[in-house]
Chains A and B, each alone.
Chain A
């Protein structure tokens, strides 16, 4: 097949991207430049109003912070599980993979509402805490950042583990054996061999979790309520409740840029990590 024909094969997808991503993105940018909700005056007033408000910056920082906490939690809990997967036989690997994919088979709405039952005042965690006498009164877990991070960690775990497991399953087991054979301790093998080799999967997982957690409107709103305000809530309020589409577009673009910068930062850390390992 010639080079031109190969290029043509990608054409349908490229056209779909242009029509359904680039054009709407252009529209979003155009709408954000208008100053009034009727979309008549082109003066960029909404940008000035939004970015000039200190509350906006608090919301941006909180949104990025939520992404970072969720990435840290999923990586810390997910990586050891991936190591177990690496050491397991083929049958157990299939079992682990199935358990990892299982949550994806239920809707995120169902998983989120289930977390209300778990984190609630009369929920499983609080009943256990009270029964064990760890606290005199029920802990407040719903509508707190900690509670939301706990829930998002479970909700986002599959998208951290899937790229990680796929990279790990392609890793040559002889390399670890060679490391051990040459006298490296288990920890040294982990940090000098396994971790660097699995880094692409870990970085991909972190990027996906970051992008997904910062934009998880349903989980943020249902578990965080109105006490925790993140950018997706502002987009929803402005676009669907008060119909101020220019301001909603400004918030959407702000979210896009914040998430984009976060993902780029994770990728940069990944590249530096690999350079260090080599």
Chain B
């Protein structure tokens, strides 16, 4: 009977092998569910470690984008020394390419709960004040503290540098600035100089700015010979590289430390999938019904993808929530030992692609290979041998 095209009912174009693979998985729903669950867990654990380190690295890069192009520190036989601010600024500005040179006051003192970084608030700090959502810069005897610095109940903060001093905390840095301002105490420049033991006219170091990032390395030889005393100069790209390397290596450590767990979980997955592909009599029956070796292997591949892709999506989604959801503490505590909520983190599209590539390479591909390898072996066997092996 011929039907007109108008009356023909709609039939979705379903490719038979993926549909068969899906039906095969649904025949054992609990097994499929647990396989997806275990694989999701593996991906969640690895993705959390990788996402956290990548996000830290990206956040550090964003913060360093506002850092000075170069930092000049005077060095002597005993280590770094205070630099005479006025002549140092003149010497730096005499180098072609330098657009700005600013002396900075900072150093480490003893706080109530351990070391604290004291920073002298000069006139240029207004930008920091607005970025960190603090109302005003501190006057003499006042301080603005990071969230890691706990003042007394009466709002007093006792710090011990070259002399012990007490300050009134007038404000705290917002949690958004925690990654840089966690242990910072912002003081009036005179107070900072006093507690750090810096004589009048001296600074801790010199922040130097250039117009193009490419000039940072280019002016290094001129800048290093511009000062009377020996100096150590650090460029922004060096600092940025240092943080990037440090965070990524932490990621490596985290990944390796959980590697043994991952490996054992992967072994379970491999065992289960091998068990499934090891149902030799089924393969034998399919082959005797006319399925080719390629069909058998493709079926196993589709089964692996139907398990692996949803598990990967679920795992990445959970880990994204764990790293970026506000208020979640335990990944930071487990991986980095943070006792409070982590700082606000960022992830750029390039970083996200890198994480996805790493997860694909480290978890998804080994899983698919674990399915494919035994499938290749079994698919090559003769149908009769396969059927016989299933019925001893």
**Are A and B physically bound partners?**
no
